[in-house]
């Protein structure tokens, strides 16, 4: 009797172990099937992505093959001499354009009297033309003709900015001194504009000389700014610093 009981217990134990083994095997098979399905889905998506990438590359290559040489030159942003444009300069001037507008409006609001407000408006306009045109010239993809026009404007803008700077500053002097500065500096600016528009291929050293002359043109009036109640030493220091920056920029150019 005891032997039969032991046999039944052993049989039950073997059945339980067998059932557990079957359950574990089924679970393992389910995990394998799930992994295979997931791997298949990943492979399918990868194949689709690879196919799209190849198609996109082929389309891009076809577009490149169809671009004319002139269009290629525009895409890499070359100037009229075939030199790459300095894009960083364009971005700096693009940021400076709205800042110049905001600062100019504040300056006009703070100015006393209609004549000085108009003088400040001239300075603001010259600043906007310089920074706005420079940003468009250096960042845009233009045709050779438009590039040449923007380049001419870019070269003359520095003279406009110098003249525009002296226009409101000269109001710190007596009327006859102010009129002399405005007439002289704008006459020189007109000459510089004519030179740059007509002789666009002038040598760089000539531009440098003209820049330096403009940068030091206010030295003759420094004494009058120094003794002026509306200016004083602070204005002289600022004007001298501005002239030094113009000269340094000309040397770097």
Taking the domains of the chain in order of start, what are their residue ranges? 2-66, 89-252
Residue of 208 and 22 predicted with greater confidence: 22
pLDDT band for position 118 (cuts 50, 70, 90): very high
pLDDT at 73: 46
Please name the residues in contact with 151: beta carbons below 8 A apart, sequence gap of 6 or more: 79, 80, 137, 200
pLDDT at 57: 74
pLDDT at 74: 47
pTM of the model: 0.60
In the numeric block, the tokens 């997931």 are attached to 38
Task: Evaluate if residue 223 carries a pLDDT over 80.
Answer: yes
Residue of 188 and 160 predicted with greater confidence: 160
Report CA 61 to chain centroid distance, whole Å.
Answer: 28
- pLDDT average, residue stretch 73-87: 54
Asked if 138 and 87 count as a contact pair (C-beta separation under 8 A), the reply is yes
């Amino acid at each position: 009797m005891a032997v039969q009981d032991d046999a039944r217990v052993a049989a039950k134990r073997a059945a339980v172990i067998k059932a557990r083994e079957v359950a574990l095997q089924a679970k393992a098979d389910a995990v394998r099937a799930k992994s295979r399905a997931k791997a298949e889905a990943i492979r399918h998506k990868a194949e689709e992505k690879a196919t799209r990438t190849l198609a996109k590359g082929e389309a891009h290559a076809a577009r490149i093959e169809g671009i004319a040489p002139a269009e290629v030159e525009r895409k890499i942003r070359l100037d009229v001499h075939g030199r790459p444009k300095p894009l960083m300069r364009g971005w700096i001037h693009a940021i400076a354009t709205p800042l110049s507008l905001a600062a100019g409006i504040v300056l006009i609001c703070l100015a006393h009297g209609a004549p000085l407000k108009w003088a400040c408006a001239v300075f603001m306009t010259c600043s906007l033309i310089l920074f706005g045109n420079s940003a468009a010239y250096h960042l845009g993809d233009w045709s050779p003709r438009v590039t040449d026009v923007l380049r001419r404007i870019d070269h003359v803008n520095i003279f406009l900015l110098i003249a525009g700077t002296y226009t409101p500053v000269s109001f710190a002097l007596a009327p006859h001194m102010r009129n002399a500065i405005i007439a002289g500096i704008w006459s020189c600016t007109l000459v510089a504009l004519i030179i740059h528009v007509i002789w666009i291929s002038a040598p760089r050293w000539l531009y440098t000389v003209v820049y330096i002359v403009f940068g030091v043109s206010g030295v003759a009036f420094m004494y009058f700014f120094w003794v002026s109640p509306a200016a004083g030493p602070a204005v002289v220091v600022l004007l001298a610093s501005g002239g030094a920056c113009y000269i340094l920029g000309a040397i770097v150019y």
